[in-house]
């Protein structure tokens, strides 16, 4: 960890930080000098990532939070402000789904669950930090979308609730960027393609991974650190005038 890093002295909240992209983003931010609130619905995962950061010389706290519940989000942000005095960066990394199904087989409860975790969580967390950022006229909100939110994958089936949630996230972020830009707050999204997180490596065999690689123009898959680097760029002073942008990080899987 370094006092001269790109995020030195900044305070960041990262949701879904107990694994996958959220974990990689949290550790990358800590390496660049940020105080990091490691937020996850799974307390044990959040504490593990927090311990790794602190052991390496960084500054982190673990906060168990269901990002789809307003009361829990409000309490989480209050804890961060009590610890470090402010919030400079919010990374909304919570999201996902657990099945593919055609529209005729999607239950209303499943639709609500997927939309809540992928879109409502972004609204609640962004709302919870907005006043602090607007009052000090400085802040950065970055949300993790997906290629599924940009358009249908030409090589794989899409899952309607997930794609709709991620597309809504991109639209929400562009509108929010317009609404609060005058206060010096930037709002952007990063849309990964299939990324070689531990979960992806666990659920896909070598042949499946190779097939997806060969479908991409660059004939490779993105690593978690590649997405974390894109998020770091958008959170840094290098991107201080970039807002309302969706940055595709997918080895060319979707080119727009």
Cβ 151 vs Cβ 208: under 8 Å: no
Compute the distance between CA of residue 143 and CA of residue 149 in angstroms, rounded to an integer: 12
Q: Which residues pair with 121 in a beta bridge?
A: none
Tens of pLDDT, residue by residue over 104-143, are 999 999 999 999 999 999 999 999 999 999 999 999 999 9
Question: Tokens 């080895």 map to which residue?
Answer: 251
For the chain, the 3-state helix, strand and coil shares in percent, each to the nearest 5, are 50, 15, 35
Cβ-based neighbour number of residue 64 at 10 Å: 17
**Separation of CA 56 from chain center:** 23
Among 159, 162, 183, 241, the active-site one is 159
**Nearest Cα residue to 235 out of 1, 30, 43:** 30
Distance, in Å, from the CA atom of 145 to the CA atom of 125, rounded to the nearest integer, reads: 15
Q: Has 183 been annotated as catalytic? A: no
Q: Which residues, 6+ apart, have CB-to-CB distance to 176 below 8 Å?
A: 126, 141, 187
User: What rounded mean pLDDT belongs to the chain?
Assistant: 89
Secondary structure E strands in the chain: 11-14, 35-40, 59-64, 89-92, 139-144, 185-192, 246-249
Tallying the residues shown for the chain, one arrives at 256
Lookup: tokens for 172: 């929400």
pLDDT for 237 equals 96
First to last CA, the chain: 36
| Cα→Cα distances 202→206, 213, 248, Å | 10, 16, 24
Query: How big is the CA angle at 99 (ends 96 and 101), to the nearest 5 degrees?
Result: 125
Beta bridge partners of 249: 192
Summarize pLDDT for 234-246 with one digit per residue, the tens: 999 999 999 999 9
* Residue 39 Cα distances to 92, 157, 215, angstroms: 10, 31, 34
Examine the pLDDT at 256 and tell me if it is beyond 60: no
At residue 208 the predicted structure's pLDDT band, cuts being 50, 70 and 90, is low
On whether the pTM is more than 0.85, the answer is yes
């Amino acid at each position: 960890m370094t006092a001269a890093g790109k995020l030195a002295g900044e305070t960041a909240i990262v949701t879904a930080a107990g694994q996958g992209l959220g974990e990689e983003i949290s550790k990358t931010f800590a390496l660049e000098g940020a105080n990091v609130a490691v937020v996850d619905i799974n307390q044990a995962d959040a504490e593990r990532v927090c311990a790794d950061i602190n052991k390496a010389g960084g500054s982190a706290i673990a906060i168990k939070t269901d990002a789809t519940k307003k009361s829990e989000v409000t309490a989480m942000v209050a804890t961060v402000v009590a610890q470090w005095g402010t919030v400079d960066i919010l990374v909304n990394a919570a999201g996902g789904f657990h099945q593919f199904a055609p529209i005729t087989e999607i239950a209303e409860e499943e639709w609500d669950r997927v939309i809540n975790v992928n879109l409502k969580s972004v609204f609640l967390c962004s709302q919870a930090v907005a006043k602090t950022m607007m009052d000090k006229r400085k802040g950065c909100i970055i949300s993790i979308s997906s290629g599924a939110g940009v358009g249908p994958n030409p090589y794989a089936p899409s899952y309607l609730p997930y794609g709709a949630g991620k597309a809504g996230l991109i639209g929400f972020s562009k509108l929010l960027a317009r609404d609060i830009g005058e206060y010096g707050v930037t709002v952007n999204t990063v849309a990964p393609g299939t990324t070689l997180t531990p979960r992806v490596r666990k659920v896909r065999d070598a042949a499946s991974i190779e097939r997806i690689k060969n479908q991409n123009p660059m004939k490779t898959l993105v690593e978690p650190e590649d997405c974390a680097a894109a998020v770091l760029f958008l959170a840094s002073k290098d991107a201080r005038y970039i807002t309302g942008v969706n940055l595709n990080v997918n080895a060319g899987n979707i080119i727009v």
